[in-house]
Structure 1
Amino acid sequence: MPWDVREWLPPEHLCWKVLDVVGLLDLSAFENSYRDDGRGGVAYPPASLIALLLYCYSKGVRSSRRIEQACWDDVGCRIITANRRVDHSAVARFVRRHRAALNSLFVQVLSLCGRRGLVDLSAVAVDGSPMEANASRDANQRLQRLEETISQCEKEIHALMEDEVDHALSVEADGSAVQGDGEDACDNWPRLSRLCDRLTRAHLARDRLHERAMPSPTEIRIKVEAAERMVARAEKRLAAETEAHQEKLKKYELRVREDRAAGRRGANGRPPVPMEHKTVLVRQRTRLVKMQAWLERARTPRPAPSPESRACLSDPDSRLIPGKRGGYLQGYNIQSCAPAVNSCWPSKRTTIPRTGRPSFRW
């Protein structure tokens, strides 16, 4: 083989394309995070690690330990790293440290593809595709039925465990492994395993119902803002009414002192109601307490599932969704996007992961 490792691969190999693209990207966000005062250990060049990550990710290698092994086995990785072995901890720390900067690379890559005419950024279509799950539609149960299933499973598990304890005590007392009519107590373990699995799935299904009943962060923020406005309004009204009534009490006391100084017994008319018994103040204080309780409930909402809501006992993550050709199916709703492309780029559907960012393949 050639002495130079760069001659081991042809010019059209993927690693050369990755290195060319990385050379066109703006890596200032990575480079500015390192100190240049000569202290500390020498770090790997950010461009080299970014090219290594993109090259390995494009081949489906995402584990830091597998990337470290690829630096030995893969010629493309050896070319990118200049024939050096990068430790897996260095790769993991680099990804954790520059997570935000790595996310911004996708925008630069997409912009680069747009300038090269590979993609048309003017039209992007987003669609949902139903996918059938490995679960039965008849396994959907309401919250009350799930509670009954959980209670029944717990009772049966408790009864089986009591039988196992009694069997162990009898074996210890008699010194024999088989008791009674010859039935082995170990026959209960498969049934116990099935009950534990059913109990776990019932708990998951109940948790899914509560999660779906939880309002979204936007709804929580809107309710909290409305409650804060109501609390501020009630406090302002209570302060105004309190100040007005205190002024009325002060005027009455001043009139009483003036009448007594003039030799009269006291001021004429009924004296004002005390602060704690004033109807307007009592009503405003009650209103303020209600608004503060409403604000507390808005900040810490408690999910209340509807009695008609259901969750699947076989697969709690799946839901009953409309099918493509009518009817309903038990499955998932997969979000996908299909960007408009020109003739030099293959037309493929790109799946959007749960993070909400379209995945990109070099």
Structure 2
Amino acid sequence: MANFLPFDRDQPFLLPPDLKAWIPDDDLAHFVIAAVERVPLHSFAIPRRTGGKPQYNPRLMLALLIYCYANGLFSSRRIERATYRDIAVRFIAANQHPDHDTIATFRRTNAQAFEAAFLQVLLLARETGLLRLGTVSIDGTKIDANASKIRSVRYDRAVALRERLAADIAALTAQAEAADAEPDPQALPGELARRDVLKAKLDEACARLEAQAQAEADAARPAYEEKKAAHAARKGRRGPPPSPPDPTPPADRQSNLTDPDSALMRRSRTAEYRQAYNAQAVVCAEGSQLILATGLSASASDAPSLAPTILAMEPTLGLPAAVLADCGFGSREGVEQLQARGIDPLVAIGRTQPHRPYDFRPPPAVKPERQIKEPWRLDMKAKLETPDGQALYKRRKQTVEPVFGIIKSAMGFLRFHLRGLGPVAGEWTIVALAYNCRRLHRLCHA
């Protein structure tokens, strides 16, 4: 006969006097609390109050966010529920229960505190000898924005819809005035209000696209003037004159009505387009696999982020000796900027992954080898073909790629929860901070 342990769900019991007795000594919660205590209070955006209910301690809120992000809890409502249901979260929150509005506001307004905590964790890793700044790897990954791609509108379509909405609003306004349907003269009919809101969003989208096109035209104006002067000074057959930069947006340029800062991009040529951001990470390639710096852009191309992301490390951790990057980061300007600061960049030239000999897929079509003529590309290719260059570049895929795999698969972070380039960049810092806490905690207890 089976023997079962008796149980009684109605049996009253007392919690331990110290909640830490229910949490293992090597739990991540203790490490997060110790790391957050190093963050100075002046780094937080603390609203000034002269009275009313006391505020939650910002260090408590920061530790709560870091621990929840490290364990796959990203929604402010889920974090609020976890302060009741999860023992470790309840311990970090000191048996307090911030509501989801408070959590969301803190996450949206404390990007400076997240950066300060990110730096303190890295300094802690350096003090313990786990972080050595030598060779780093940089890469980017596409993470979905908090917006749908079906809310993206083309410039030509937005202009046409604005005209149609203006006509519909005028007709509805005349109809409402004639019928006197609204008892409150200050209230608009429901149909009219909805169309008015949509037209306002389209007006903002058109204004953004026009301002972007004007800025691009202004930036291209000096080059156009040089070409125009060279064309005028040329003797004999000069050909057609150069075309001036057009300040009108292209008809197919799009803007998202929900999150205008995000953009349509895809991971590869075979992947679908998604409304996303391009999240950058600089990872230590000396063994720790800690994220040393982060970056965020709304451009699908990685090349413009190479030099700014690496050089931003100088005031905090210092500059690395070498940088490993894939071919997406290849740009003459970025490579020259790094070399001017004494950094040795190793950027792949073309495809570096050979076709597997027993691949189940058919072999790719044979393409003519790309002719490389730029001097910096020729120098980079020669450097990568040396034994030392090949041995060093092999570290790239085994350092930065697993980091994105852990963030997306183990932590489950697949989509941003904030909108706008600034708030989303702050959330990406929280994600990197949570990953670093997980990684450093594991290294300390290995």
Say which structure is richer in helix.
1
TM-score bracket, shorter-length normalisation: 0.3 to 0.5
- Scaled by the length of structure 1, what TM-score is found? 0.46
TM-score normalized by the length of structure 2? 0.39
Larger radius of gyration: 1
